[in-house]
Chains A and B, each alone.
Chain A
Amino acid sequence: MPGLHFEMIERVDQGPRVREEEFDKTIFPRLKELAEKYDITYDAAHPIPEDDDMADRLFAAGLEYAVEKGLWVLDTQKVVKFTEAEIWRFLDNYHTPLTFGYGKDQVTLQPRRPGSDVRPLVIGGAAGSSMTEGEIYVKHMMNFALEPTNDMIANGNPALIEGREIRPFSPNEVHGAIQEVGWIREAIRRSGRPGMPLFVAPGCAASAPPAVAIINEERGLRKGDFMYAALLTELKSDYDRLIRAVAAVENGVHVATLLAPMIGGWAGGPEGAAICGTAEVLLGAICHSSTIVVNHPVHMSLKNGATTHRQTLWMESVMGQAFSRNTRFPIGQNVFLDARAGTYEVLWEAAANAIVAVSSGQHTGPGPSGITGGDDVDMISGIEMRMLGETSRAVTGMSRKQANELTVKCLEKYERTLSNPPKGKRLQELYDIDKLKVKDEWLGMFEEVKADLKSWGVPYRY
């Protein structure tokens, strides 16, 4: 996308120094003022609000704040700012539809709106979830690629590489990232979907060098694939992240900007975090010349980054509505689940996230993930992906009113266990791993939840 590439490169080291503490401290009071000025109000009974006017006001508030506040750069302690005219120059020249991948595996990104019957992209994978390296990693990726609802494949995080821990800035980190993308390519080939586009945030790439090293037409990220470049919470970036974006963009790789506005953090409650997140979408997209922004609101009360708290669902919905009603710029909803594979709760969480994303004008995923580490390895499976994908397809075109009713019902099924979710099981316990066949018990739990959703009005066709 034609972002403001040169302007960003120039502005990261221009202007007066702003100390981080000074930058942080003004965020909360200003967002409180803006929430009042634009009348942005969280409503627990409506995780999917039907208020078009509030969605538009949220967009206006975020735009005002983006122009006023800018993006703070850690390395230089400068603030990169863009005018409102520059922001509109970017948004108005965003071109869709866009096609990714090749052959029968090509997919098309089209602008959506709340309640739209335009098919959303479903991006399936588990970036952030720890997985056993090698053949098991390939099996995880195949599990996601074999789901027909999955349009683009996202990665997982190998726990070890060649049996060794992965240290940032180490040779093994670069080696690991190259291996990881190679395994994903192998997985989509073995799944009969070699043209599937990649949507990757290498789990082995805590630093920029391995991210840059995976841009490679033969085995790595190819032209038309996606690579993440994140923002730092709140409203910050650094050379490391901006380098990834520049390397991707100049090599024809799409950038997916990841942002994680936090409820309870510097931005305050859900209203402030939504305004802050809206500003971050604009600033991140322009700085990275992004093709899509992946929104991952974080809730202070949930340790492992789940996006399924009632307040984060509201935030996802209002931000999705704000952008899809006011721009053609797409938002993907990162799906991080609190519970783990093998539990009913994880399925309800996946369903809720899909319903919110699709009915609010967004795209689903990447997901399903969950931050895991240490001994907590391989706690994810293709069945959560199936719930995410099939529900996304089924609710496409659904009204926000109906979607809200369904979401509230899903919340009733898992909300009480948030922050203390049931432990779950490993992929190897839930599947015949050699044949990659899900075992009856786990499949039965999936069918049970799906039957309930169907009885509530989710129009699954299969």
Chain B
Amino acid sequence: MSEKEILQELYDGVLKGDKEKTVSAAKQSLDASIAPLEAIDEGMSPAIKEVGDRFGRMEMFLPEMVASAEAMEAALDILEPHFEGDEAGKKGKILIGTVQGDIHDIGKNIVIALLKVNGYEVIDIGRDIASTDFVDKAVDLGVDVIGLSGLLTTSLPMMRDIIQMFEDDGIRDQYKVIIGGGPTSQEYADEIGADGYGETAHSAVELCGQLIG
């Protein structure tokens, strides 16, 4: 298979969310001595951009985007050991969860899928998560950004509590904290001292880019 064909396989595999095909193409790219960075930039990146665009236009749906993200992650696992230095590591590490008392997690799951297809390492700590767990996990895992999600109005004080806990522990300046979900707003983010507010899943990704980049 030519280099062009392998890159096309990577593109098609990610776009279709075909993990097997994408992993196979990643292995072939190594066998063909294609630089991992090239495999990503020329093969998978255009595909994930297309996935994001189609999702935004609702030509693709959540399960399809999740499949694309998983296909890309699996291929990256193949390519990563062959990176030279830190030429193409993940863009940043993000911890994300739905705050205590709130079990609604679809919004969070959408943001996670979109972050993954945009090359971030994402740790999903789940839903209805105790405020202390957000702080403890962020420290343990050394993340860059903490994303707090919630649909209920009763989720708002939990977001305030978490930011206050970072303050109380004297580590607030080491982390970026962003919020999102139905009742949240830029005004509320400002009020509780969050570093940002994502109105949509796409804006959450842009926000992470601004904060980490």
Contacts and interface: CB of A to CB of B under 8 A. Distances in A.
Contact of A167 (B101, B103, B110): B101
Contacts of A13: none
Of the candidates B63, B101, B110, B200, the one having the most CB atoms from chain A within 10 angstroms of its own CB is: B63
Contacts of B153: 130, 157, 159, 166, 203, 372-373
A168 B188 contact: no
A229 interface: no
A370 to B, nearest CB: 10
Nearest to A269: B61
Contact of A374 (B106, B151, B185, B200): B185
A305 B183 CA distance: 10
Interface stretch (B24-32, B38-46, B86-94, B154-162): B154-162
Nearest to B185: A374
Nearest to A203: B153
Contacts of B125: none
A128 to B, nearest CB: 8
A327 interface: no
Nearest to B156: A373
B22 interface: no
A376 B106 contact: no
A269 B58 CA distance: 8
Interface in A347-362: none
A376 B110 CA distance: 24
A256 B104 CA distance: 19
Interface stretch (A219-227, A246-254, A260-268): A260-268
B168 interface: no
A238 B128 CA distance: 12
B142 interface: no
B156 A264 contact: no
B37 to A, nearest CB: 31
Nearest to A129: B153
Of the candidates A169, A207, A266, A373, the one having the most CB atoms from chain B within 10 angstroms of its own CB is: A373
A453 B102 CA distance: 40
A429 B183 CA distance: 22
B126 to A, nearest CB: 10
A289 B185 CA distance: 37
Given A25-B63, A303-B199, A265 B106 contact: yes
Contacts of B187: 374-376
A204 B58 contact: no
B154 A173 contact: yes
Nearest to A270: B58
Given A167-B154, A167-B157, A207-B101, A266 B185 contact: no
Interface in B63-89: 63-64
Given A74-B103, A303-B200, A266 B63 contact: yes
Nearest to A419: B200
Given A28-B64, A262-B106, A265-B61, A206 B101 contact: yes
A36 interface: no
Contact of A165 (B104, B156, B199): B156
A376 B185 contact: yes
Interface in A182-202: none
Interface in A368-403: 371-376
B199 A168 contact: no
A43 interface: no
Nearest to B102: A206
A27 B161 CA distance: 36
B149 interface: no
Contacts of A372: 153, 183
Contacts of A267: 61
B63 A268 contact: yes
A33 to B, nearest CB: 14
Given A173-B154, A371-B182, A264 B62 contact: yes
B152 interface: yes
Contacts of A263: 58
A300 interface: yes
Contact of B185 (A157, A207, A264, A375): A375
Contacts of A206: 101-102, 152, 154-155
Given A232-B103, A375-B187, A305 B154 contact: no
B69 to A, nearest CB: 13
Nearest to B182: A371
A165 B157 contact: yes
B185 to A, nearest CB: 4
28 contacts: A28-B63, A130-B153, A130-B183, A165-B160, A168-B152, A168-B154, A173-B154, A203-B153, A204-B154, A206-B154, A265-B61, A265-B62, A266-B61, A266-B63, A267-B61, A268-B61, A269-B58, A269-B61, A300-B58, A300-B61, A303-B199, A304-B182, A371-B151, A373-B183, A374-B156, A374-B184, A374-B188, A376-B185
Given A28-B61, A167-B158, A374-B188, 10 more contacts: A167-B157, A168-B100, A168-B152, A168-B158, A169-B101, A264-B61, A264-B62, A266-B62, A300-B61, A376-B187
Interface of A: 24-25, 27-28, 74, 130, 157, 159, 165-169, 173, 203-204, 206-207, 232-233, 238, 240, 262-269, 300-301, 303-305, 371-376
Task: Enumerate the 8 nearest inter-chain pairs by beta-carbon distance, A residue then B residue, closest first.
Answer: A168-B101, A373-B183, A374-B188, A165-B157, A28-B63, A206-B154, A371-B182, A374-B185
Interface of B: 58, 61-64, 100-104, 106, 110, 151-158, 160-161, 182-185, 187-188, 191, 199-200
